[in-house]
Amino acid sequence: MFKQYLNAGQKRESYLYVGMDLHKKTHTAVLVNCWNEKFETLVIENKLVEFEKLAKRVNKKALTLGLTPVYGLENAYGHGRSLAVFLLEKGCVVKDINPALAYDRRRSAPTMKKNDEYDAYCVAMVLIDQLHTLPDAKPADNYWTLSQLMNRRDTIVNDAIRLKNALHEQVSAKLT
């Protein structure tokens, strides 16, 4: 697949907007056009095989409609990091959506809904409104690696404390 770039002069009507709500186990995608018409909602597992299915479905829909797909990932550096890396490697345009922007969009509705599909739709709306000002998703491996190491360190420290407390409990039980 070739690398796609956004052209600032290209009209908003020429894109298929894919808003994504990202979670640990599943991701929800909503495909909309610039007039907020929802075409499809997809729920995929957070697995490489499912990423392939998502990309194929989105590309097929975009080809059918004659549009260029652009992805908006809510916080592409957390649970969606692997999806962002996958899409970027495939040459897709991926924008990072600050969760606060999607939250503000959700709150602006007369009645506040809270489900994955609506959250993904709000991400897509932010993507449509701010397409050319949103930052590109650039998952930084250095920060991710450091985060993984810090999580591992915290786990080891907590395990050491737990084991020490268990040892103290057994020693004090033997002394009494």
Q: Is 162 inside any structural domain?
A: yes
What is the pTM (predicted TM-score) of this model? 0.74
Per-residue model confidence as pLDDT tens for the chain (176 residues): 444 556 556 788 999 999 999 998 999 999 999 998 999 999 999 999 999 999 999 999 999 999 999 999 987 777 888 899 999 999 999 999 988 888 888 888 776 667 889 999 999 999 999 988 888 888 766 666 777 788 889 999 999 999 999 999 888 887 77
For residue 61, give the nearest of 111, 15, 101, 24 by alpha carbon.
Answer: 15
Total count of domains within the chain? 2
**40 and 69 both lie in a single domain:** yes
Q: Is 3 inside any structural domain?
A: no
- Are 79 and 117 in contact by the 8 Å Cβ rule? The answer is no
Q: Is 106 inside any structural domain?
A: yes
**134 and 144 both lie in a single domain:** no
Q: Is 7 inside any structural domain?
A: no
CA distances, 112 to each of 72, 82, 170 (Å): 21, 30, 53
pLDDT at 7: 59
- Are 69 and 90 in contact by the 8 Å Cβ rule? The answer is no
Token pair in block for residue 61:
């829909």
Range of the domain at 169: 140-176
pLDDT at 30: 96
18: CATH: 3.30.420.10
- Are 12 and 34 in contact by the 8 Å Cβ rule? The answer is yes
By residue count, the chain amounts to: 176
pLDDT at 2: 42
**48 and 99 both lie in a single domain:** yes
How far is it, in rounded angstroms, from Cα 51 to Cα 153? 30
**123 and 159 both lie in a single domain:** no
**49 and 81 both lie in a single domain:** yes
**128 and 171 both lie in a single domain:** no
How far is it, in rounded angstroms, from Cα 38 to Cα 29? 11
